[in-house]
Amino acid sequence: MGLDFTLVAELLALGTVVGFLAGLLGIGGGMMMVPALTLLFTQRGVESGLAVKMAIATSMATILFTSLSSVRAHHRLGAVRWPIARAMAPGIVAGGLLAGGGAFAVLKGQGLALLFAGFIGYTALQMLLDKKPRPGRQLPGPWGQAGVGAGVGFASGLLGAGGAFLSVPFMTWCNVPPRHAVGTSAALGFPIALASTAGYIVSGWGLAPALPGAFGYLYLPGLFIVALASVMLAPWGARTAQRIDVALLKRLFAVMLLALAGTMLHRAFST
C-alpha cells in the first residue's frame, strides 16, 4: 500500500499536535506518537509486535529534527542550562546506543508495549501529583550527572521518547527551576535521538520492509512528515509556555496520558 492522502493527513495532524505539546509542556512527543503510529501501522497490515517497534524507532528519529527547533526557542529565552546538558550528554549517548543497538532488537514488541504503558502511566501520575523538591537538594557532580544520563538514554532508546519524562523530574527534584529543566531537557533530546537512531539502524539492518518506504525499524515517510509539522509547531509551544500557567493543562494532559497507557496495555495483551 502506498502513501495515500489519508495517511499523509493523519501524519501531518499528529506532527502538529506533538510538536506544539513538546514545546509547551516539555514532554516528549513519543507519548502520543508511539500509540498513534502503532495504530496507523497495524491498520495497514503490519504485525502488532513489529508495529510497536517501528512506532518507537520512528518516533525517536523525529526528535533529531524537533529537538533542534525546540532547543533553539528555549535557548533564546535563556532557559537552557548548558553545563548540565554537557555533563549528562556522554552518559546519554552510551545509554542510547546500548538500548537502540542491543536491547531493542532482543525485546519482543509485547514487552516494549508494556514498558511504554508503564512509562506514560508513571509520567501521568507525576504530572497529577506535582510533588515539590526538598529545599537545598542539589545536582550531583559530573560523574553522577553522567550516570543519570546513561539511565535516561537507555530508557529513552527503548521507549522512543526524548528523555524529558526522566530528566525534567530529576532536575526539578534537584531544585533546577522548572522552566530551565524543560529547556535543558530539550537540549538533551538531540544526543538521545542521535544515539538511539544509530542503534535502531544497526539492529534493524537486515529487516525486510514492512511498508513501502520503511528502512528496518524506521518508517521514513512518517519520519519526515511528522518531523516537518513538529518543527514548525514546537517553537510556538515553547513561547506559549513562557507566557501562561500550564499547571491545569498538565493535569488535563495527564488524564489523557492515562487513557493512552490503557490503550498500550490493551495492545500489549492482544499481540
pLDDT, tens digit, 9 for 90 and up, residues 157-171: 777 777 776 787 788
Cβ atoms within 10 Å, residue 109: 21
Q: Which residues of 125-158 are buried (b: 16+ CB within 10 A; e: fewer)?
A: ebbeeeeeeeeeeebeeeeebbebbbbbbbbbbb
- What confidence tier does 87 reach under pLDDT thresholds 50, 70, 90? very high
Q: What percent of the chain has pLDDT over 90?
A: 7
Q: b/e string for 24-40 if b means 16 or more Cβ within 10 A?
A: bbbbbbbbbbbbbbbeb
**Residue 6: count of CB within 10 angstroms of its CB:** 9
Does residue 83 have a pLDDT over 80? yes
Strand partners, 214: 219
Structural domains counted in the chain: 1
Written as nine digits, the cell of 14 is: 499528529
> Structural domain of residue 152, as residue ranges?
5-269
Comparing 62-71, 156-165, 176-185, 241-250, which segment has the lowest mean pLDDT? Answer: 241-250
| Per-residue model confidence (pLDDT) at position 1 | 46
Q: Is the pLDDT of residue 184 over 80?
A: yes
User: H or E segment at 214?
Assistant: strand 214-215
The three-point CA angle 48-50-56 to 5° equals 105
Mean pLDDT of 134-162: 80
**Which residues sit opposite 218 in a β-bridge?**
215
Q: Which of 197, 167, 194, 159 is nearest to 183 (CA)?
A: 167
pTM for the model stands at 0.76
What are the φ and ψ backbone dihedral angles of 207, each rounded to 5 degrees? -80, 130
* Per-residue pLDDT at 203 exceeds 50: yes
State which amino acid sits at residue 104. F
Cell of 196: 538511539
Tell how strand 218-219 and strand 214-215 pair up.
Answer: antiparallel
